[in-house]
Amino acid sequence: MTTPPATVATGLDKTTVEKPSPLPLLEVINVSKRFPVRLGPLKRGAVSAVDTLSFSVEQGQTMGIVGESGCGKSTAARLVVGLLPIDEGDVIFEGVNVRSPHQPRHTGAREKEIHRNMQMVFQDPHSALNPRASVGEIIAFPMKVHGFSRQDQRERTGWLLEQVGLHGNHASYYPHQLSGGQRQRVNIARALALSPKLVVCDEAVSALDKSVQAQVLNLLKDLQQELGLTYMFISHDLNVVEYMSDTVCVMYLGQAVEICDADRLYANPLHPYTRALLASTPVLDVTGAPRPDVPPLEGELPSPLDPPSGCRFRTRCPSAMAICAEEAPAVTQPEPGHRVACHLYPAGPDAGLSMRRHAVDGRPERNSNA
Amino acid sequence: MALAEPMTAHSAIAAWAAVDAPATPESYLQAARRRFMSSRVGLAALAVLLFLVALSVCAPLLTSYDPAVGQPVDRLKAIGTPGHLLGTDEQGRDMLTRILYGGRMSLIAGLAPVFVATVIGTALGSLSGFIGRWVAAVIMRTMDMFYAFPAVLLAIAISASLGPGLFNQIIALSIIYIAPIARVAEAATRRIVVAEFIEAAKLTGAPTTRIIVTQVLANIFSPIFVYASGLVGLAIVTAASLSFLGLGVRPPTPEWGFMLNSLRGTIYVNPWVAALPGFFIFITSISFNMLADSVRDALDVKE
């Protein structure tokens, strides 16, 4: 690995891996997002895309977010990085509340610094790159906005291209001259251009062939190790999330239903939805532990316009009970560090938990609107 | 490279892609130029337009007649009359001379308003397409107000309030073409703003105007260009209508549209001469359209 030229001036050099900070890098606290929709000439409704979502991501780790299409994963990603305004809740980054509906939006230099630290790898390698710009221009644009000198831009672009496994000459290529995998590498290089601490990968490999997926996933892992990156890794593919993540958050209809370390979640899923999801995933590894024998889910995701009362999963849940329709389940912790929101696991003495403090215990819980 | 099988186009591309250090490919503009140069129609249209421009610019060198003064005895000569290659008009002025000089006014009257309207219309359309919400509502509803009037009537009203003259005519025509160009720009922008590369640009913290200039404009250029070049011919004709009403260039200054109007009366006497200015308007307009089509095809990289 060559030394990176043009490191960011504000001490955000990510080549020196820092010690894990005592606070999580990112905390998402009770974040909600509704999209208003018109149901008729006078009638209006709201799609509840994300509802009281909470989780935290530790420095240098990968938080996987998994769920069906339409469960609010991508909305959650856009809320975290600030592409969408939050309706309720807080996003705390490095101990600072960066986006909250209760305080004015950060502007100017502050906003730029937040952007510099949180970048995103997009899903569609075709629409994620400007078809009229060369690869070099695409990667250099964030640096240009942040006032890097021309020479720094050029040197760093070359370095980034090498980091993502491309050749420096690729800078003069146009996106349509690259393969899907190469485009996704450019997509990653652009996300790394400003030396971010957090990289949100929104279905970063879903559009790629399986063989190319593996290459890109390994690239992401290598980069994480070399640059000390923290990932929020969003995918509908359970195998991919298992491979990438330290912690996994399972989402259903805009809510987190289970959060746990990846190994334990896949070995011992607690929520009926997680079980059904895992059961529906093809397993190629015949020597590994068999996945739970649960019938696959039937029916479609209920409309987020009018989510079911109580537990949102009850309409498709094989173990639905009477209470499920009446009350939303509280978050419980049936085993250490494994949190689940389901009435099958009655709240014990640890009532009032949230999905956030899943990994590191012994730290005070932060309240919303802190 | 020794290949057992014959080198097909596909295997050639595969072999090229497998090379570790890729060669520098041609840039976007180089590729566009190469594609344009291989389009016969586009080159022909360009040649015709350059020829017309050269003729208008060099008019004094090509003819010795005065475009404004005629010989009443030589009125309405037919095409091919010795000394008057393209005949004469109803006042005995040499048609070739008037066509050459008239090209100056007509090309300016056609190009200048479309250029001005394209710049302003693109700015307004891309801004409202990008921001949406109330900004789009204010801008696009204002544009709709311009649509509510027939374009020519509006141009007449504006020209009349500004007074006659080429410059005021250009202003009037610019204003009436802003609305349709803004619409095209807005629609094209709305298609492009949903792309993820726009979100990526927003994530850099760049201000809206910068994102529009660096990320949007290049992507909406070709539909706007094609539409605007189609307006050039229309602008020449509309300019002619204004001149006819005494709101554009003043007689006896030659201008194709005005010549067409003033020769209307002689259509039964000397139809070929009367049709000449129309023929030149037609040639100019269709050349712009074909040039625009070729340029668009050349600029279109597959995405």
Provide the residue ranges of all domains of chain A, joining segments of one domain with +.
271-285+292-299+307-360
Return the percentage of chain B with pLDDT > 90, whole number.
30
pLDDT tens digit sequence for B60-84: 888 888 888 878 787 777 787 788 8
- How would residue B295 be classed by pLDDT, with cut points 50, 70 and 90? confident
Per-residue pLDDT tens over the stretch A185-240 = 999 999 999 999 999 999 888 888 888 888 899 999 999 999 989 999 999 888 88
**Which residues sit opposite B84 in a β-bridge?**
B81
Size of interface A-B (CB pairs under 8 A): 89
Give pLDDT, residue A370. 37
> Are A122 and B199 an interchain contact pair (Cβ–Cβ within 8 Å)?
yes
Cα dihedral angle (B109, B113, B116, B118), rounded to 10 degrees?
Answer: -130
Contact B21 A167 (CB under 8 A): yes
Cα-flanking dihedrals φ and ψ of residue B127, to 5°?
-60, -50
Tell me if the domain spanning B40-65+103-299 has CATH number 3.30.1180.10.
no
Output the pLDDT for position B243.
Answer: 79
Phi-psi region at B156: left, alpha or beta (left = phi > 0; alpha = psi -120 to 50): alpha
Q: What is the CA radius of gyration of chain A?
A: 21
Query: Which SS3 state, helix, strand or coil, does residue B54 take?
Result: helix
User: Could you read off the pLDDT tens digit of each residue along chain A, which spans 370 residues?
Assistant: 445 555 444 444 444 444 444 678 888 888 888 888 888 788 888 888 888 888 888 888 899 999 888 788 889 999 888 888 888 888 888 888 777 666 555 556 777 888 888 999 998 888 999 988 889 999 999 999 888 899 999 999 999 998 898 888 888 888 888 888 899 999 999 999 999 999 999 988 888 888 888 889 999 999 999 998 999 999 988 888 988 999 999 999 888 889 988 888 888 888 888 888 888 777 666 666 665 566 667 777 788 788 888 888 888 888 888 888 888 888 888 888 788 888 888 766 655 667 765 444 444 455 444 3
Q: Do B24 and A132 touch (CB under 8 A)?
A: no
Cα–Cα distance measured from residue A323 to residue A13, given in angstroms and rounded to the nearest whole number: 52
| pLDDT attached to residue A311 | 86
Torsion of the alpha carbons at A74, A79, A82 and A84, rounded to the nearest 10: 80
Whether residues B197 and A138 touch (CB distance < 8 A) is answered with yes
Nearest to A60 by CA among A189, A232, A217: A232
Question: What CA–CA distances, in Å, run from A233 to A120, A121, A200, A223, A243?
Answer: 10, 10, 6, 14, 11
| pLDDT (0 to 100) of residue B268 | 87
Q: Which of A74, A98, A99, A127 to mutate: most B Cβ within 10 Å? A: A127
> What rounded mean pLDDT belongs to chain B?
84
ipTM (interface pTM): 0.81
Strands A96-99 and A88-93: antiparallel
Q: CA of A253, closest CA in chain B: separation in Å?
A: 24
Q: How far apart are CA B280 and CA B49, in angstroms?
A: 11
Q: For Cα atoms B58, B64, B70, give the angle at the middle one, nearest 5 degrees.
A: 120
- Give the separation between CA B50 and CA A257, rounded to whole angstroms: 69
For residue range B157-191, list pLDDT tens digits in order: 988 898 888 888 899 999 999 999 999 999 999 99
